[in-house]
């Protein structure tokens, strides 16, 4: 008999709703069997209270920015853009302590669970203390976010970041970037520490902040240290037109073209944002097998611009989603933003749908994010498939936007007709992490978060 058995009237498997599904979970918290059309479940199986969806990966997170969400929405100068937002964000980055980081991140991760994510890729570049000095344990800030993930019960892919300079033509970091300083050796050491630290549901990859923030030789050094290990490699790229112009001025190529030409990315690579990409660059990414991570709500909040969604989908480039600066912390709204941005720009509807292949917009975006998210997190199996970690979402069919909706439209309604996802349960490794929107440690985590926020913003005011 399996360690645990669950039964659902419906579950989203292989891109469609399937009926009467029996799930079996092994002692390691992974799916050992998934069997549709089991009309009469065995007596030992627990009946789930609604239809089941696979959970998604939040493929791009800066946890400390949760302390800043909603606090940059005022303009006091003639213009405001990504670069001015960044100046204000640095003020938080320079102050936050390891204890405050853990408190802020734990609150964030509870919110991500409520939003339907069960794994987060933490793009982590706050390495040093506020003076820019190394902690006695260089992984101190890594442990802060990793322990926060343990507090919340979410899985984490920790991505320590290579960050060396302020720009293509600036060989050093600015003073307000001093906490970010790193080398290929430090990044590799932090990834090894995470992989061997003994924390449940924690794995590691590496990241390069951006082409502007790391010199070419250091990127190659990090590639050499990674070697042929199957671990994710993430990089911010082509988020801003200024970055594209500076890269072209320095290297004679646009950022994605330069990356593909000089660093030979492969399927382990995740190009975060990739907002400003030419058709030739999209083709180059498709040929090398890399994926992209789009963060629609953050890209809208920062005024980055719109990705060419149709071109990326036509090229079959893996496309995950991320919450990035955490102004939005649930995946249905991210997918809605992803589609609605295209509708506004193109004055068309159902841009992501592909009649004859997948005519449902929500399903096409969801399945793309599901498949690519597992890859971005370094999981060879992800979702409602045998061998994957037993993570799942149980929908509340009585929630606003779901009540009365025919079952074949429930995913559509979740993305396009609801607010935050109303979930009866969120399962991580077969265990209930969230029930009826409540987390077992929610009150204690919220109290620590409120105390950390009071301290952080008292300093500012």
Q: Nearest to residue 55, comparing CAs of 445, 388, 410, 333?
A: 388
Handedness of CA 158, 160, 166, 167 (dihedral sign): negative
Q: CA–CA distance from 231 to each of 59, 125, 207, 286, 377 (Å)?
A: 14, 18, 10, 19, 8
Q: Quick check: is 396 catalytic? A: no
Alpha helices in 19-176 (DSSP H): 82-95, 98-114, 140-152
Token look-up 């209270």 returns 49
Give the separation between CA 343 and CA 345, rounded to whole angstroms. Answer: 6
Which residue matches tokens 């190394």?
134
**Which H, E and C letters describe 272-326, residue by residue?**
EECCCCCHHHHHHHHHHCCEEEECHHHHHHCCCCCCCHHHHHHCCCCEEECCECC
324 a catalytic residue = yes
Q: Which of 62, 128, 236, 273 is catalytic?
A: 273
CB hemisphere CA count around 229 (13 angstroms): 18
What is the CB neighbour count within 10 angstroms for residue 329?
A: 24
From the candidates 324, 367, 391, 396, which is the catalytic residue? 324
DSSP 179: G
- How many angstroms separate the Cα of 306 from the Cα of each of 15, 100, 141, 302? 26, 34, 33, 11
CA angle, residues 28, 30, 36, in degrees to nearest 5: 145
Cα distance between residue 69 and residue 325, in whole Å:
7
Please give the angle made by the CA atoms of 386, 389 and 393, to the nearest 5 degrees: 100
Q: Please state, in angstroms and rounded to a whole number, the distance separating the CA atoms of residues 26 and 430.
A: 9
Dist. CA 267–CA 265, nearest whole Å: 7
Distance CA 146, CA 105 (A): 9
Active site residues: 273, 324
């Amino acid at each position: 008999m399996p360690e645990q058995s669950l039964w659902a009237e419906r579950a989203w498997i292989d891109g469609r709703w399937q009926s009467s599904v029996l799930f079996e979970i092994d002692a390691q918290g992974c799916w050992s069997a998934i069997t549709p059309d089991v009309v009469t479940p065995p007596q030992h199986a627990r009946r789930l209270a609604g239809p089941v969806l696979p959970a998604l990966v939040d493929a791009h997170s800066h946890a400390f920015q949760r302390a800043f969400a909603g606090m940059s929405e005022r303009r006091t100068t003639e213009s405001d853009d990504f670069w001015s937002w960044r100046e204000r964000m640095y003020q938080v980055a320079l102050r936050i302590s390891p204890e405050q980081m853990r408190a802020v991140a734990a609150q964030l991760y509870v919110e991500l669970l409520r939003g339907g994510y069960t794994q987060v890729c933490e793009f982590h570049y706050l390495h040093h203390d506020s003076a820019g000095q190394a902690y006695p344990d260089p992984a101190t800030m890594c442990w802060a976010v990793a322990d926060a993930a343990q507090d919340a019960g979410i899985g984490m892919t920790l991505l320590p970041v290579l960050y060396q300079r302020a720009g293509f033509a600036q060989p050093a970091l600015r003073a307000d970037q001093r906490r970010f300083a790193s080398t290929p050796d430090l990044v590799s050491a932090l990834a090894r520490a995470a992989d061997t630290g003994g924390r449940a549901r924690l794995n590691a990859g590496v990241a390069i902040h951006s082409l502007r923030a790391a010199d070419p030789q250091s990127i190659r050094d990090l590639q050499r240290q990674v070697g042929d290990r199957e671990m994710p490699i993430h990089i911010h790229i082509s988020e801003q037109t200024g970055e594209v112009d500076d890269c072209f001025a320095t290297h004679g190529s646009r950022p994605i073209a330069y990356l593909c030409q000089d660093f030979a990315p492969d399927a382990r690579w995740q190009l975060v944002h990739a907002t400003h990409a030419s058709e030739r660059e999209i083709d180059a990414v498709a040929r090398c097998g890399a994926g992209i991570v789009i963060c629609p709500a953050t890209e809208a909040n920062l005024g980055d611009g719109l990705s060419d969604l149709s071109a990326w989908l036509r090229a079959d480039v893996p496309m995950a989603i991320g919450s990035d600066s955490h102004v939005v912390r649930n995946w249905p709204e991210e997918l809605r933003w992803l589609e609605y941005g295209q509708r506004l720009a193109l004055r068309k509807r159902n841009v992501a749908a592909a009649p004859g292949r997948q005519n449902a917009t929500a399903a096409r975006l969801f399945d793309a994010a599901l498949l690519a998210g597992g890859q971005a997190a370094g999981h060879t199996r992800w979702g409602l498939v045998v061998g994957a970690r037993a993570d799942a979402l149980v929908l509340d069919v009585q929630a606003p936007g779901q009540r009365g909706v025919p079952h074949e439209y429930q995913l559509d309604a979740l993305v396009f007709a609801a607010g935050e996802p109303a979930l009866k349960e969120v399962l991580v490794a077969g265990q209930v992490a969230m029930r009826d929107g409540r987390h077992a440690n929610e009150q204690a985590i919220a109290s620590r978060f409120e105390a950390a926020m009071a301290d952080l913003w008292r300093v500012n005011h």
